[in-house]
Each structure stands twice: as structure tokens, then as C-alpha cells.
Structure 1
Amino acid sequence: MSDSVSDCTAQPRAAVTEAEVEALVRGICFKTGPPHRLGVEVEWLVHELRGPQLPVTPERLEAAYAALRTAPLRSALTVEPGGQLELSSPPAASLMECVGTVSADLDTARAVLREHDLALVGIGNDPWRPPRRFLREPRYDAMEACLDRTGPAGRAMMCTSASVQVCLDAGHEEPGPLGHGRRWWLAHQLGAVLVAAFANSPLADGEPTGWLSTRQLLWMEIGAGRAGAPPFNGDPRAAWARHVLDAPVMCVRREDGPWDVPDGLTFREWARYGAPGPPTQEDLDYHLTTLFPPVRPRGHLELRMIDAQPGEDGWIVPLAVTTALFDDPEAAETAYRAVKPLAERAQSLPAPHNPLWTDAARTGLADPELREVAVICFAAALEALPRLGATNDVTAAVAAFQERYVSRGRCPADDLLDEFDGTDRTAHRKDLRT
């Protein structure tokens, strides 16, 4: 969310101590108050208009993006390492304000890209093309070197994945359906349901991977220190502050030459011992941008677990459903009660590295328990959307998704697999948990 609810950043200053880091993170990453603003970050693969399996040269991408940067957009335009396009909305006062802003910007972006024979494609992981880095910058050189230590998943995440990221206010300081502690917990339990319902990345290199959300699999393979959530202990601020301190430093930036990529250095160790050179608050701010948990606190909550969705307006459905289940008190209470039994399957392990999230990414709504919870949550969202001012078109889109996928135990990934193997997989769906 561009100029988001409250970015977890601060002004540069002198070297920070371990205690100062903890205090800073606790103070600025959960800005509480009545939920009233939201945003969305929509990522897209950019493919050849007439042949999505054909490669697009860096020169064509750069020319198209140069033209797009001159277009009148309200959303912030960024380009991901593999050339994926991202639009990040400004904070919106309502669901429909957010939908209207991003829809208009996407219309503009599509028109510009069409002039270059390019198109936006909503899939969570590129089904055909291998990872290929488009951006050559010190940040991404360092990121690639760091992530390569855990295998090929990092490069794929950087270059072939795309998502819908929903940004919501952290919530009230006080307990209750909209309290920040409840919303933090709900995000990590409901997150598995969102993974399953909106899974849309079953292919890589032209073949099924065995996972309905291959994008989520990539995040799991990157590792808990970089892409995992902190353990729950009842206090989100304390848990996140510890996680930030104990997370490995991705890189130490340099004004000249390549950035250093330390191996195994945590930010706590860096702050405690001051080598290589004591970290500053600016280094802390940067460190926070190199952590990719499924729910990232940046003053607001950034929910990062949803695959990019098919169709020009498919992104609206997860935005609407998630907003309703968090910002409408009645729907939030229903969702909280519905997901409580799922917590046992998480086995107290942080997301996404627990059995619940693994089942969601592998089998989607073929899992009977996830399907049951999804049915309840979509029904609650549909009841709440008119209270949030959603138009009939938005409500109808959610209802259509519920009918096409949720009520049938399907997700968009099933459509891609049906197209791949020429069968209707609904007829022989079964519980695939193993």
C-alpha cells in the first residue's frame, strides 16, 4: 500500500543498541486505533499478448515500463526483480474507494502495455518460464546471493511469483473482535484458509508441481528466519521485536561496490557486537524490508499469502472477502470462531511452516476442514459486504467465486490443472491429506 497506513520506517540516526532496536520495533510496527483504512498491492506477471509462453525481452519490458511511468496513476508503480509489475494503492477510507482507484489504474496500465503487445496475467507462479532476473541492482544482487544459500526457491520467488497483498489497519489497542491482538492471531489462522481458497499456482516449467499454491511452497522453502512468522505468545509487539532481532541480516549496504552478504549474522548479534560496523536506525529500517512473513506488521498489517488471481478483476474478491472478515465486527467474530479449531492443526508452529499451512498450499479446499471453514467465512463476508458499502458488482463477484470454487471444494488452481490435463477434477476430489 503506497504511503501506507503507517510504514515501519524512521529517520536515520546514530548506531542503535539491541535495547533501542527492540523499543523501536515495538513502538512503530503496530499503530493501533479504529480500523478505517485499507489498501491492496496487486502483482502481475507480464506476458506476450498473443503468446504467453513466449519470452519477453528485457528491452521490451523496459520500453513498456518507461511509458507506463509517464501515465497518470494514483497507485505506486514498482517493478519486481523478474519484471513482474506491482501497483500499490494509496490508503483508502473504504473498500469501494480502494477498488475504484486500483481498477482505474489497472485500466490505464493495460492500455499502455497493449500498445507494446504485452498483457497482465494473474497467476501466482509463472507456469512456463524459468526464473530470469530483469532488475540488476545491488539490493537484488545481494538478495539473490543470500537466498541461493537455501536452494532455488529464492530465485523463483523473486522472478516468477505474483500475489494479491491486502493491507489493513492493525486494530484497536483494546481486546475485542477488532483488537490488534485478535487481528494478529486471526490473520495467521485465517491466512491458511485464504491460501487454500485462492490457490492459483499449480504449475512450474510447464508441469504440475503437486501443490495448488506453488508460490506458497516457495516461501516455505526459503526458510523460517526469512519468510516465517514469529511464535505466538499473546503479545504481538514483543513477538515481532524478538523475531526482527533474531532474523538473519540479508545484506550490509555499501555506497560503492557490491553489498556484503553475511552468513548467519542476526540483527541482534550485529547490534550487540557492532561488526561489521555498528548498525544504524536506517539499517534497521532496511532490515525490516528484507523479512517476508505471511503477515508483515508495518504499522498496519500486510497479508501476503494470497496468490495472484485470474481475470482482470479477480483481485477484487480476496480484497473484499479479507476486508469484510477483518473490519466488520460481526464477520470478524464469525471468522474467529470458525478458525479456532484449525489452530490445533498448526501444532503451535509458526506460519507458514506448520501442517495447517502445508495442507492449505498442497490440497487447497479439497481438505474438508478448510473447505468447511471457507464456506462459513465466505457466507459471513457476503453478509458483511453491504454493511461496508460494497456495490452489487463486488458482492456478485464474491458470490460467483463462492459458487464456482468454495462450495465445490475448488480453487482457481483447479481450473489451470483442468486445462492442463483436459479433465474435470471436481468429480473425483477427495481428502488428499497425507
Structure 2
Amino acid sequence: MSDATSGCTESRRAVTEAEIEALVHGICFKTGPPRTLGVEVEWLVHAPHTPHLPVSFERLEAAYAALRGVPLRSALTVEPGGQLELSSPPAGSLTECVGTVSADLDAVRAVLAEDGLRLVGLGHDPRHPPRRFLRERRYEAMERCLDRTGPAGRHMMCASASVQVSLDAGHEEPGPLGYGRRWWLAHQLGPVLVAAFANSPLAGGRPTGWLSTRQLRWAQIGPARAGAPPLDGDPRAAWTRHVLDAPVMCVRDDEGPWQVPERLTFREWVRSRKPRPPTRDDLAYHLTTLFPPVRPRGHLELRMIDAQPGDDGWIVPLAVTAALFDDPGAAETAYRAVKPLAERARPYPAPHNALWREAARSGLADPELRDAAVACFTTALEALPRLGATPEVTAAVAAFRDRYVLRGRCPADDLLDSLRGTGLPGAGCHPAGPGPAAHRRKDIGT
């Protein structure tokens, strides 16, 4: 029997709870010196000359067919609502990561421009209701499952976009770069990143009362699927329990529609072995149906950042996050900056506690979140030259800090200022200047 055949057979063999624990430990937390970096950038696709109209599926399909022939180093995928995602290969440095993705985005934009389309950096579609573009059985099952908790799932699938930063899990040993500290820091820094980069205050052409409507929708899916495990124990053990006790989204079948069981956890599936015994393939698939703010995938995937305005806005959250995790001095400063926020993150896990909700609702108008963000951006700016960042990247981070963080603002505030002054701006359009920090909440509801 060949190695390939043996591996296929093994992946389809029924698994036990003990095997699952060992697999999750090995698959999700691979430790070693932090050396690689990655980013996934998601984009809405709009027609700037007719922003009030959604792009037809036929037009999207034609544009995406043209993109399939473009040579890229990043992986190009289409999200359920027709959003585009570029996933970088693992990079040995921030400069390498930025260079690769920037070149690939230039190529993608050139193809889309031929059909009058553009990539738009917003965390949530400001005008159009969610529409599902992809018809695969995976998304049919996902939609049926998420519909049970309300409309938020469809918004998450089809109307949202983000910047997801991927970092090595860290050292096995404790310390600023140890995996336990990095796991804790990722969750405690999460609300600061939500607040600083909030960029989705609109839905249906109107303010929602939240600066990150995208983060609100993810939280509304519920803690079983979109929540984090408790942070008061070993990360590997906590994540393994979370995986086993999370509900199964679907039971796949080679033929016919997939089953969507109700209230069946993966642990219960393993024990009951019904409707069929789960396999290693099923476990691997189950891991992809959990949407916590920090997902361990052999590395740490930070999933809480809204898509950013402008062609290069995604570089700032990538650079700031990389600096705060991979420079030991910046990591220690960030740890001290967010530690006072930890009490507000109890008793519920992220993102379903008061701190995360306030970050999504009010952004850096919250004084404690603003103070933490100022400290984190300042130490990141000091660390970036040590990580070999280019002057252009460092300047972009400094400009963002000055325009938003020091003033207690975020990109969502520009959209709201523009809405109050001139009506809903064109898709993806942010005003050139930051504008006054006028008290934004008084006229947009709560």
C-alpha cells in the first residue's frame, strides 16, 4: 500500500476522544521560535460608478473567471457572498509579507478594473443585504445551521470582510514569546484591535449604533461557534475541550445534501457514533467550522480586525500586530498595557463580554481602550525598525496613530462624519481628513 493510500485510509478511520485530544494538541499548537508571518485580506467587490446597486452574480463570475488565469503567490479564494480573499504564503519577515500581498493585489485590481469593478475595504457592506454567491453544499449546510440563531450568520458569511493576521504560536517555554503568553495576549489585545480598526458602522445605508457592525454580527452567532474558550488554564487543554463540546455544523456525505444535526456536539458524535462514526477528516472539517476571535491552526489566526480603507490600509494592522507579538520588548509592553483590561473581560469568554462589546460599539471613545491603544501603537512604532520594517510601513503606522488613535477615533468615524455631512458616501470612500471628533453616539442610537 502506498503512503498516499495509507494516509487516505487513516483519515477516514473512526477516531476516539483520546485520539482527538492528541490530534488537536498537535495540529493546533505547533510551537517553535516565532519566525513566520501571514495575512488574509478580505474585500468587498463593488462597482464604484453604481454603488447603490449590488454587482450581479454573472458579472462577478466573469471577473473571477478572468482572475483564475492570473499568476499569484497568494492563494485567491471567493467567500460565500462573493467577497474576494487573498491569503499570503508564510513569510519570513514583515517586509516579505507586505511585498508579496501588495504585488498580488495590484494584479487583482488590474483585472477587476477592466470590468469596472474595485476592491473595497469595509468590514461590513454598508448598503446591500447579504446574498449568497457560492452554492456549494458546505455553504448550504452552513446557512441552514447558522439560520437557527438568527440573521447574523448570513451577514457574517456574505456581507463582511476582515484583515486576519497569522502568527506563530510561540515558544514552548514560558516568557514573552511563549505560547501561553501569546495566546493570552491575542485575546486580551483583541478588543484594542477591534476598537482601533473598527470600520463597519453602516448597514442598509444607515448607522447601526456600532462602529464595528462586523464584530457585532460575529458575536451574535453565539459563543458555542464564535466564542473563545476560558483563558484560565492551559491553552491546549482549553481549546481541546472547546472543540469537543462545540456543536457539529454538518455531517458530510459523498452524495446528496449534508445533514445538519441540531444540538449534537462533536463529543456526543464520537460517543454515539451516529449517524455514522466521525473520522479524522470530520475532525479537520469541524475545526474549520469554528469561528473564534483567535483560532489556533498550528499558528494563531487573529480574526477580529475589520477590513481597512484604502488600497494599503491592511498593512497597518498587520504591522502593528506583528510588532506587538514578535518583538520581545513590544510584547512585554503590550502585555502590561492590556492587563488592566482583563477584569472587564470577565466573566464571559471573548467576544461575548462587556469589554469586547464596548470595543465594537464605541471604539476608542472608551478611555481605557484608548490608553491601551496609544501604548500599543507607540511601542509598535519603536519596534518596527528592529523587525526590519521599511520606512513606508513605519510611516503608515505613525500616520494612523496620529489620525485616529491619539484622537480617540477609528476609520468608522470618518464614514459617520461623511454620512452626516453629505449623505452616504460612495462605496469604500473615506474622507481625506479625519474631521472633528464630534460626539458621534448622540445621534446614531445604541
TM over 0.5: yes
Unaligned runs of 5+ in 2: 1-7, 423-434
Moved more, 319-328 or 340-349: 340-349
Closer, same or farther: CA 11–111 of 1 in aligned 2, 3 Å = farther
SS at match of 1:176: coil
- Show the counterpart of 2:198: 199
SS at match of 1:296: strand
Give a deviation string over 1:211-260, Cα, whole Å, max 9, x none.
00000000110000110001123300000000000000000001111100
- Report deviation, 1:355: 0.6
Code of the residue aligned with 2:438 in structure 1: it is: A
Measured in 1, the distance between the counterparts of 2:206 and 2:144 equals 27
- Show the counterpart of 1:264: 263
- Show the counterpart of 1:4: none
Unaligned runs of 5+ in 1: 1-8
Tell me, yes or no, if structure 1 residue 340 matches structure 2 residue 339. Answer: yes
- Report deviation, 1:21: 1.0
Measured in 1, the distance between the counterparts of 2:320 and 2:162 equals 15
RMSD between aligned residues: 1.7
- Show the counterpart of 2:432: none
- Show the counterpart of 1:96: 95
Measured in 2, the distance between the counterparts of 1:118 and 1:367 equals 37
Moved more, 277-286 or 341-350: 341-350
Code of the residue aligned with 1:93 in structure 2: it is: G
- Show the counterpart of 1:284: 283
Tell me, yes or no, if structure 1 residue 129 matches structure 2 residue 140. Answer: no
For residue 427 of structure 1, the aligned residue among 426, 433, 438 is: 438
- Show the counterpart of 1:41: 40
Closer, same or farther: CA 11–201 of 1 in aligned 2, 3 Å = farther
Measured in 2, the distance between the counterparts of 1:362 and 1:136 equals 33
Give a deviation string over 1:267-323, Cα, whole Å, max 9, x none.
000001101110000000000000000000000000000000000000000000000
- Report deviation, 1:31: 0.4
Contact 1:172–1:180 (Cα < 8 Å) also in 2: yes
- Report deviation, 1:351: 0.3
Contact 1:35–1:172 (Cα < 8 Å) also in 2: yes
Code of the residue aligned with 2:162 in structure 1: it is: S
Moved more, 422-431 or 202-211: 422-431
Contact 2:413–2:440 (Cα < 8 Å) also in 1: no
Contact 1:49–1:114 (Cα < 8 Å) also in 2: no
Give a deviation string over 1:175-203, Cα, whole Å, max 9, x none.
00000000000000001100000000000
- Report deviation, 1:10: 12
Code of the residue aligned with 2:439 in structure 1: it is: H
Closer, same or farther: CA 163–95 of 1 in aligned 2, 3 Å = same
SS at match of 1:188: helix
Measured in 1, the distance between the counterparts of 2:50 and 2:364 equals 31
Normalised by the size of structure 2, how large is the TM-score?
0.93
Measured in 1, the distance between the counterparts of 2:38 and 2:418 equals 33
Code of the residue aligned with 1:428 in structure 2: it is: H
- Show the counterpart of 1:185: 184
Contact 1:125–1:215 (Cα < 8 Å) also in 2: yes
Measured in 1, the distance between the counterparts of 2:127 and 2:230 equals 36
Tell me, yes or no, if structure 1 residue 393 matches structure 2 residue 404. Answer: no
- Report deviation, 1:429: 6.0
Superposition pairs for residues 11-410 of structure 1, below 5 Å? 12-410=11-409
SS at match of 2:11: coil
- Report deviation, 1:425: 5.2
Closer, same or farther: CA 295–10 of 1 in aligned 2, 3 Å = farther
Give a deviation string over 1:373-418, Cα, whole Å, max 9, x none.
0000000000000000001100000000000000000000000101
- Show the counterpart of 2:431: none
- Report deviation, 1:151: 0.1
